[in-house]
Amino acid sequence: MKFDTAYCISLDDKLSIYDVRDLNFDETVAFDSAQESFQCPNDECRAAFDAANQLGTFNAKNVNYLRTPHFKNLPGTLHIESCPYRLSKGAGSIEGAAAEDEREEHFPSELLLTRREYTRRPSSPTAAVETPRDNPPVAPAGLQNNHAGRDSTPDKTCVFAHPVECFVSNIDDKELLKRMPLKIGEHTASYASFFKKIEYLLDNKGLIYWGKIKQIKDYTQSFRIDFEQKVWFKAADESKKKPYSVNVYLSKKLVDNYRKRKAFLEEIKSAIDSQRELYCFFYGVTPTLQQVPSKKNPEATFGVFSANIENLDHFVIREAPGLHAQ
Ligand SMILES: [Zn+2]
């Protein structure tokens, strides 16, 4: 069984690896997973060992990653006999684990549109100079009941990258993607139908749209992301369908005010320079047909499907091997 979450001692809460990534890149909170201590999410198992019995992370701090982020056992990590995570992949054969870990198995059933809030457990004045090892969890097992209501499975997430990773890493398993449900706001659909190819955006509003990036333009006020695929659309004054380009704009003001500004700029700048095939995923806006002035002939206009991204938390640029065949 893979770790769906891990217990973070300082936050006294169970976090998915996507929560950890989100916190690492968030410039408004002091959090560095390399300095934090993570333990088995099974309460009984954790209580059986001291705070030095920890888990490690994989891809927790890498902005651009290929292999699925996850928690892993460290060489000395122990679990009690009855712990469901005892036979966690990553503990046994390294080769097998590496292949298996490329797949995200924990599908959140809901993407929450409001961010999760954390409270760092109050530390004594001396705690800051102590290493985590000398600072075992204060709360005995009985006191952890305030989390009893939260199943350790990350059933809901507020980190957009999590459902995106589920979709991308399981793209070869269409049946699975059709089976797994995803809810966002009032809308529930399978992963297979919630993720919509950008060229079919006219089918339904309010989905997660994705497509291969043709180019990214860095303008003074904004970034513009052009998609490779076009939308076929019949305008009222036309007799048949015509292909229209699709793009999304990200205003620089939005980026500058983003809590993960540094990580975001690193992501988009490396995407601009990249020769790799990159894909863009976004939720929250649906591109609509707009008339824009032509560069060559300012008198003329042409139609393009376009949208302004409103929330960078629901926007991802990444490599996605396997999607090109779709
Ligand atoms: Zn355990």
Q: How many CB atoms lie within 10 A of CB 231?
A: 21
CA of 149 to the centre of ligand 1 (A): 19
- 49-71 tens-digit pLDDT: 999 999 999 999 999 998 999 99
Q: Write down the pLDDT at residue 89.
A: 53
> What does pTM read for this prediction?
0.87
Distance 25 CA to ligand 1 centre (A): 28
DSSP state of 151: -
Under a CB-based contact definition with an 8 Å cutoff, are residues 307 and 315 in contact?
no
Cα–Cα distance list, 8 to 35, 76, 160, 304 (Å): 11, 18, 21, 47
Whole-number pLDDT of residue 130? 41
Report whether 243 contacts 231 (CB < 8 A).
yes
Distance CA 308, CA 286 (A): 9
Q: In the predicted model, is pLDDT for residue 82 greater than 70?
A: yes
Q: Which residues contact 168 (CB under 8 A, 6 or more apart)?
A: 279, 318, 320, 322, 323
What is the whole-number distance in angstroms between the Cα of residue 222 and the centre of ligand 1? 47
Is the per-residue pLDDT at 128 higher than 80?
Answer: no
- Structure-token pair, residue 28: 């408004």
Q: Are 92 and 101 in contact (CB under 8 A)?
A: no
**pLDDT confidence tier of residue 162, bands split at 50, 70 and 90:** very high
CA–centroid distance, 102 to ligand 1, in Å, is 22
Tell me: the pLDDT tens digits for 200-246? 999 999 999 999 999 999 999 999 999 999 999 998 888 999 999 99
What the block records as the tokens of 308 is 């302004």
Record the tokens describing residue 36, joined without a space. Answer: 């934090």
| Other C-beta atoms lying within 10 Å of the C-beta of residue 122 | 8
The answer to whether residues 70 and 3 touch, using CB atoms and an 8 Å cutoff, is: yes
For the segment 149-176, the average pLDDT, to the nearest whole number, is: 86
Q: Which residues touch 301 (CB under 8 Å, ≥6 apart)?
A: 291, 292, 293, 294
The Å distance, Cα 277 to ligand 1 centre, comes to 39
Least confident among 34-38, 123-127, 217-221: 123-127
State the residue for tokens 């560069």. Answer: 295
What pLDDT score was predicted for residue 123?
Answer: 65
Q: Of all helices (H) and strands (E), which one includes residue 70?
A: strand 70-73
Q: Which domains does the chain have, with CATH numbers?
A: 6-157 (no CATH), 193-325 (2.40.50)
**Measured between alpha carbons, how far is 72 from 88 in angstroms, rounded to an integer?**
8
Q: Are 322 and 171 in contact (CB under 8 A)?
A: yes
Query: CB neighbours (10 Å) of residue 177?
Result: 20
CA distances from 74 to 39, 77, 78, 303 (A): 10, 5, 9, 55
Q: Which residues surround ligand 1, an ion (CB under 5 A)?
A: 40, 42, 45, 79, 83, 85
